[in-house]
Chain A
Amino acid sequence: MSARPGVVPVDVPWRRETASLGMWIFLATELMFFGVLFLAYAHARIADPEGIATASRLTHAWLGTINTAILLTSSLTMALAVRSGWAGHRTLVIRLLWITAVLGAAFLAVKGAEYALEWRDGLVPGLRFTYAGPERQGVETFFLLYFVMTGVHAVHLTIGVGLVAWLAVRDRDPSHPVRRRETAECLGLYWHFVDCVWIFLYPLIYLVELWR
C-alpha cells in the first residue's frame, strides 16, 4: 500500500471504477449543457415547423451523412483502443489511437468545408446572413442554433482529438502500463459521448424534410 497519505494506491481494484464513475458524473453535467440547446431547438421547431424545414433543406445532407459515418467509425477505433489496452497490446493501442485522432480531424475538416459553403451562401446569422427567401426568420433561427450546437460539438471534438493524440504519445513510454487503462477508458467515455451528441444532431439538422 502507498506510503504517502492521501495518494490512492495504484493497484486497488476499485480504482478504475472510481475513475469511470467520475467520468460518468462529468458526462451527466455535459448532457445538461447540451440538453438546453436541444430544448431550444425543440421549441424553435414546434413554434415554426415550416421555417425549420426550409432551413434544413439548405444544409448538405450528404456531407452530414458522411461525417456521421466517420464519427461512428472513430468510436469503433476508440473502443478497440481501450480494449487493446485491456488486453495489454501497447502497439495496437497506439495505432488505434492515431487512427481515431485522424478520423476526428477528418470530421472537423468536413465540418469546416460545410461552414465554408454556408458562409458562401450567406447563411451565417449575425455575420453574413443574406437569405431573402420565404421563411427568412425561421431560417435565421435554425442556422443560429445550427452554428451554436455544431460549434460547441466541434470544440468538444477538437479537445478529444488533442487528448487522444496526447495519449498516443504518452503510451509510447513503457513506464505507463497500458493494462491499467483508466485514462484510456475515461477518454473513451468522453469520445463516445461526443459521438452520441452528434448522433442526435444528425436527424435534427439534415433529415427534417429530405423527401421534398
Chain B
Amino acid sequence: MNSPPRVRVYILTWVGLMALLAASFTAAHFRLGPANAAVGLAIAAAKVALVGLFFMHLRRASALIAVFAAGALFWIAILFGLSGADYATRSITPAPWSAPDGH
C-alpha cells in the first residue's frame, strides 16, 4: 500500500458511477413492478461497492480493516433481519403488548 493507485483507476470509477446513475434514472421511467425497487437498490449497492473498493481503498486494505467493514454490514443485516422477522410474523404470533391491529 506504499505507492498510490493510478489516477486512471479513480477516473474510471467515477465514469462507472455516473453510468450507473444514468442507468438508475432511466430504468425508473419504465414500469417494472417490484423490479423497479430491486433495480434501484441493486444499482445503489453496485455504486457503494465501487466507492468502497476504489475510493475508500478497501481493495488494498488490510484484513483487519476489511473485517471491520464487513462487520458493519453484518450488524446492519442483523438489524434488518431480526426486525423484519418480527414485523413479518406479528400477525401470526402477536407480542403481548401489540396494538389490536397487530402493528
**Chain A complexes with chain B:** yes
The 8 A CB mask of B44-85 against A (1 = contact, 0 = none) is: 100110011011100001101100110111011001100110
Q: Which of A73, A75, A83, A203 contacts B7 (CB 8 A)?
A: A83
For chain A, the count of residues having a C-beta within 8 Å of the partner chain is: 48
A69 interface hit (Cβ, 8 Å): yes
B: contact size bracket: 35 or more
- Name A residues whose Cβ lies closer than 8 Å to a Cβ of B: 17, 20-21, 24-25, 27-28, 31-32, 35-36, 39, 42-43, 46-47, 61, 65, 68-69, 72-73, 75-76, 78-80, 83, 86-87, 188-189, 192-193, 195-196, 199-200, 202-204, 206-212
- Chain A residues closer than 8 Å to B28, beta-carbon distance: 61, 203, 206-207, 210-211
Q: Does B14 contact A73, Cβ atoms closer than 8 Å?
A: yes
Which residues of B have CB within 8 Å of A79? 10, 13, 54-55
Chain A CB within 8 A of B94 CB: no
Residue among B36, B41, B61 facing the most chain A CB atoms (10 A cut-off): B36
Residues of B with C-beta under 8 A to A188? 55-56
Q: Provide the bound-state CA to CA distance between A208 and B34, in Å.
A: 10
Does A192 contact B51, Cβ atoms closer than 8 Å?
Answer: yes
A80 to B71, CA, bound (A): 27
Chain A residues in 8 Å Cβ range of B52:
192, 196
Task: Tell me the bound Cα distance from A15 to B91 in angstroms.
Answer: 53
Counting chain B CB atoms within 10 Å of each CB, the highest count among A46, A193, A199 belongs to A199
Using a CB–CB distance below 8 Å, which chain B residues touch chain A? 4-5, 7, 10-11, 13-14, 17-18, 21, 24-25, 28-32, 36-37, 40-41, 43-44, 47-48, 51-52, 54-56, 61-62, 64-65, 68-69, 71-73, 75-76, 79-80, 83-84, 87, 103
The reply to whether A32 and B79 form a contact with Cβ atoms under 8 Å apart is yes
Q: A43-B87, A202-B44 are in contact. List 13 more A-B contacts (CB 8 A).
A: A24-B69, A42-B80, A68-B21, A72-B18, A80-B10, A83-B7, A87-B4, A203-B28, A203-B40, A207-B40, A208-B37, A210-B29, A212-B31
Can you list the 8 inter-chain pairs with the closest CB atoms, starting with the nearest?
A203-B40, A28-B72, A207-B28, A86-B4, A210-B28, A76-B14, A79-B55, A211-B31
Q: Which of A25, A189, A211 contacts B30 (CB 8 A)?
A: A211
Contact residues of A: prevailing secondary structure: helix
**Closest Cβ–Cβ distance, residue A198 to chain B (whole Å):** 10
Bound-state Cα–Cα, A47 to B11, Å:
41
B56 and A192 within 8 A (CB): yes
Task: State whether B36 touches A39 (Cβ < 8 A).
Answer: no
> Does the CB pair B30–A195 fall under 8 Å?
no
| B64 touching A21, Cβ below 8 Å | yes
* Chain B residues whose C-beta falls within 8 Å of the C-beta of A87 in the assembled complex: 4
Pick from B18, B55, B83: contact of A39, CB below 8 A. Answer: B83
Given contacts A32-B79, A65-B25, A80-B7, contact A21 B65 (CB under 8 A): yes
Assembly CA distance A43 to B83 (angstroms): 9
